[in-house]
Amino acid sequence: MTKAEGTLPVAILVPGNFNDHAIGRIDKAFRRVRIERADPGLVTDEMRRTVRGIACFGGIDAAMIDALPNLEIIANFGVGYDSVDANHAAKRGVMVTNTPDVLTEEVADTTIGLLINTVRDMYAAEKWLRDGDWVKKGNYRLSRLTLRGRRIGIFGMGRIGLAVAHRLEAFGLPIAYHNRRKVEGLAYDYHATLKGLAEAVDTLICIAPGGAATEKTINAEILSALGSNGVFVNIGRGSTVDEAALAAALENGTIAAAGLDVFANEPNVPQALLDAPNTSLLPHVGSASDHTRRAMADLCVDNLVAWFTERRPLTPVPETINVKARG
């Protein structure tokens, strides 16, 4: 906490539940205004007059932005901000910030763990031991899949994608990637299309952001291109996957297995994915350690403090990079 914190006569709106550490810091630095959810219908006249900032887990649409005429900044908790209408915010002169970098290594670690769990049946093997089946029935079966000899494709070679790629290099695995554009200076093979990447690899890791541009891009065509030995891992956004097509591909052997940390309608997971014996499923825990969530909370609040004390953001999103503080 800086000396300036605790003296800022600024109302910050916090919709719904929020990180406890972030709330503690907001309460010391600002006047916190709580609202059940980000719903324009819940905005009072006083909020319209006084609220200048929002701290949130996303979910801020154009209508919510328009409901707060004095809004200056939306501090999003998380690197992904697809559920914040950043383009509309930019038009309104509202800054949007996120929390990149501080979660990169944690999410990359989770990705590797999820990949290994998916190909080596670690969860099922541990359950075999805990249920007493090792004693009663003998050794757990040999895993059908392995990392050995696999070719890795990464969809979304940003900060997290690079961290995942660096880890997988230590496994001696070849790496390729697909982005909207080639990353200059990167030695990994680049594929201009997602289908081209899927055809070239047998292990596809999705770290792509959500939003209309990527919605259901992992579809039946991509899964078919990945092939019957294919493994799909999603650590990015559930919206990037056609979950019905994925469930069908797992059931009919189009691909071999899938590891998922994110889903299209969280916390609701399609029953077909829950029932599939060749899935490894996590409840969106990519960055979920005390250490990393605290760092994310600090960066979220640091953005608010920097904006209202120095009139600048620390980590603006690209859409609002040119937004200037008022006055």
Backbone angles phi, psi at 321, to 5 degrees: -60, -25
266 counts as catalytic: yes
Q: Which amino acid is at 144?
A: R
237 counts as catalytic: yes
> Cα separation of 293 and 78, whole Å?
9
CB atoms inside a 10 Å sphere around CB 32: 16
Task: Quote the crossing angle between the two packed helices 20-29 and 290-310, to the nearest 10°.
Answer: 20
Q: What Å distances lie between residue 65 and 87, 241, 266, CA to CA? A: 11, 28, 24
Choosing from 52, 150, 191, 237, which is the catalytic residue?
237
Task: Report the candidate in 244, 268, 246, 271 with the shortest Cα–Cα distance to residue 259.
Answer: 246
CB atoms inside a 10 Å sphere around CB 62: 14
Choosing from 46, 266, 291, 326, which is the catalytic residue?
266
48 counts as catalytic: no
Q: Where in the sequence numbering do the catalytic residues fall?
A: 237, 266, 284
